[in-house]
Every structure is written in C-alpha cells, then in structure tokens.
C-alpha cells in the first residue's frame, strides 16, 4: 500500500535499531524488589528472550513482548515484520506461540487506512503462525510504533535458553546479517529495490520453520539475533553459559550489499551501542575488517536463530535447516572459558 507520508520518515529510529542498549537496561533494573517463585524458570534477570513459568508437568507458559517504529514504508509489511519479530522470542525458547495482544501507537494525523494496514499485516503473520490476536491497546503518540505481547507454551524440560551452551558445541545461525546497515543506507537511496525486497522477505519470515527443525536435535542453547546484533547476543550467550564463543568470521552469512554499505559508513546508531556493550568481551584473533565487525554488531530486525548443539549433530541439523532457511550457516564453536567471552577468528 502506498502512503502519502513515508512511515520511516515519521520515526527517529528504525526497527530493532531503536532498542535500548543492553548495558543500559542492566543498570536500570538493578536493585528492584521482585517476588521469588520456584515455578519461574526464566525471568528478566537471565537476559533471555522470554520469561518461562511452569504450569504443570507438561506445560510451561512463555511470555514476551516486542514493538518498534517502522523499518519499512509499506504499512502492511511493517505489521508483518513487527509481528514476526515479536513471535520470534517464543520460537527461540523452543516454544509455540498461541495468543497475542496488539501494541500500537499512532500519530493523530495518521491516515486510518494506513493504521488498518499495519494491523492487517500483524494479523496476517499471526494467522500464518497459528496465533490468535485477542485484543490489545492503542494510544496516540509522536510516531508510529507497533508490536505484540505474545504468550505461548513449551514443555518444561525442553525450554531453550541463551545460557545452556557447552564446550564442544557448534553454532548455527539461520538468517544472514546486514539488515540494520541496509535499511540505514536505504534512507539515503543507496539500496536497489531487488535488494530491499530480499531483506523485506527475510524480516517477514517466521522463525517457526527453523524452530521446527532445531527441536528435532539436541540443542543446548538458543537465542534470536535481533537488536543487540550477533556479537551482543553471542556475548549474552557466552556469559550465561560460562563459556567462550568462537565466531569464524569467514563463515558468518551476510548480505554482500551490506558489506559494501558498511565500508561506506552506513552504520546505524544501534551498532555503536552494541559495540559499546560487548566490545570489552571480544578478542579479535584474525584479520577481521572494521566493516565486517560492524556487521556483527549491526542490530537485526526479525533476525535468525543462533543455536548451540553437539558437533556430531551440527552438520545434519544444518542440512535440514537449509531446506527451510537457505541462508543458514555454521558460524563457530564453543570452548571452555578463556581470556575473553568471544573470539573473532
């Protein structure tokens, strides 16, 4: 749908690039009183993708929320991407999303037709995922914001967290990087439409297929690579697991056009926040260019799943995964804790 006012022009930040830095969040939450409950398997203190609360021996409730300003101008596509991104956290925990609530902020002068298209995009993607949107909340504000609060279910003994990686594991990433760089460059008219169409399809793609594949293997840890970038989320996985994560830079998939744009300096502000958060824990062991490093810190919107699993299952899982996510690749491995949390090789 064409709109008279470009949605991305109404937003100061785009997509998951608007996410508050991880280090800032940790400081903000320090010292808060919270209730303790043995049924709460995963809470906000774990720096994980969603909370998990045990209901009974067979079911645990998975809850998350995610929303952001427009990353594309088409309101229907924006709704699809925002919904896919919100549901991704449940998939990253190994769960199945079931219910959702709309979270919507719209400028008072925004056309009703555009607002309806945003919502239609969200409902369309929720329907594809088998999720029921049961209501929500809408307010007026300075710029558009859309997303979902999502509830799902997972078996209590099959919960995947970002703190379960083990020495000897290999790492698989299901979607290529470069979204933040390319959408930043697109604002300057530097990206051709076929490239934009490709990354739009990627952002709108659910991580359901990747989840379906990985749950057939002995996955030890999983997270989705979104606002904190590959290195930010890998940093959290390494700390949560008490291990060192080795990223084999030459194996990491990214859109080639994003590399060219990164060389030209089209780096979103979120990438600098991510670098400030994780860089102290990253040791660069090989010849890894600044542009490639920028792609690894680049905030991704509706990015792929990063999973850690035993080496003897990695190749078989990757082969199966590539049928559903052709851009998937094995990008590294896990060792005992060394001098740094992450080694770029």
The answer to whether the CB of 245 falls within 8 A of the CB of 165 is yes
What does the block give as tokens for 3? Answer: 């709109």
Residue 104's DSSP bridge partners are: 138, 146
Choice among 16, 105, 243, 317 that is catalytic: 16
| Rounded Cα gap, residues 147 and 341, in angstroms | 32
Number of Cβ within a 10 Å radius of residue 138? 13
Cα 256 to the center of its chain, rounded Å = 20
Tally of residues, the chain: 345
How big is the chain by its Cα radius of gyration, in Å? 19
What does the block give as tokens for 55? Answer: 């209901």
Residue with token string 């991510």: 274
CA distances from 313 to 35, 93, 184, 231, 319 (A): 39, 19, 37, 24, 10
Q: Is 13 one of the annotated active-site residues of the chain?
A: no
CA distances from 74 to 77, 181, 234, 289, 320 (A): 5, 19, 32, 34, 33
What does the block give as tokens for 70? Answer: 């427009």
**Cα dihedral 297, 300, 304, 305 sign:** positive
What does the block give as tokens for 14? Answer: 């785009």
Edge to edge, what strands does the sheet with 145-154 contain? 40-42, 51-54, 60-68, 145-154, 96-106, 132-140
User: For the stretch 158-191, what's the b/e string if a residue is b when 16 or more beta carbons lie within 10 angstroms of its beta carbon?
Assistant: ebbbbbbbbebbbbbbbbbbbbbbbbbbbeeeeb
The answer to whether the CB of 268 falls within 8 A of the CB of 179 is no
The answer to whether the CB of 223 falls within 8 A of the CB of 306 is yes
Which amino acids are annotated catalytic? Answer: 16
């Amino acid at each position: 749908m064409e709109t008279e006012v470009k949605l991305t022009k109404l937003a100061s930040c785009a997509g998951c690039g608007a996410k508050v830095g991880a280090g800032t969040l940790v400081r903000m939450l320090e010292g808060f009183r919270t209730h303790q409950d043995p049924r709460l398997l995963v809470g906000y203190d774990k720096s994980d993708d969603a909370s998990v609360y045990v209901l009974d021996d067979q079911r645990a409730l998975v809850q998350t929320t995610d929303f952001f300003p427009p990353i594309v101008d088409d309101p229907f596509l924006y709704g699809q991407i925002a919904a896919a991104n919100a549901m991704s956290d449940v998939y990253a925990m190994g769960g199945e999303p079931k219910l959702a609530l709309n979270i919507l902020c719209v400028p008072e002068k925004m056309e009703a037709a555009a607002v309806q298209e945003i919502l239609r995009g969200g409902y369309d993607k929720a329907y594809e995922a088998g999720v029921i949107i049961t209501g929500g909340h809408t307010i007026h504000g300075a710029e558009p914001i859309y997303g979902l609060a999502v509830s799902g279910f997972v078996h209590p003994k099959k919960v995947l967290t970002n703190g379960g990686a083990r020495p000897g594991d290999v790492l698989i990433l299901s979607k290529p990087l470069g979204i933040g760089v390319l959408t930043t460059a697109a604002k300057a008219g530097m990206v051709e439409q076929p490239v934009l169409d490709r990354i739009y399809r990627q952002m709108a793609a659910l991580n359901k297929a990747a989840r379906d594949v990985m749950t057939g293997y002995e996955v030890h840890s999983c997270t989705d690579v979104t606002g904190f970038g590959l290195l930010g989320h890998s940093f959290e996985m390494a700390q949560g697991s008490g291990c060192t994560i080795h990223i084999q830079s030459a194996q990491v998939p990214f859109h080639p056009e994003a590399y060219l744009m990164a060389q030209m300096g089209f780096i979103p502000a979120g990438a600098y926040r991510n670098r400030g958060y994780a860089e102290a824990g990253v040791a660069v062991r090989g010849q890894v260019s600044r542009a490639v490093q920028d792609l690894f810190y680049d905030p991704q919107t509706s990015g792929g799943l990063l999973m850690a699993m035993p080496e003897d299952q990695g190749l078989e899982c990757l082969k199966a995964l590539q049928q559903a996510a052709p851009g998937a690749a094995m990008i590294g491995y896990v060792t005992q804790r060394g001098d740094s949390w992450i080694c770029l090789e």
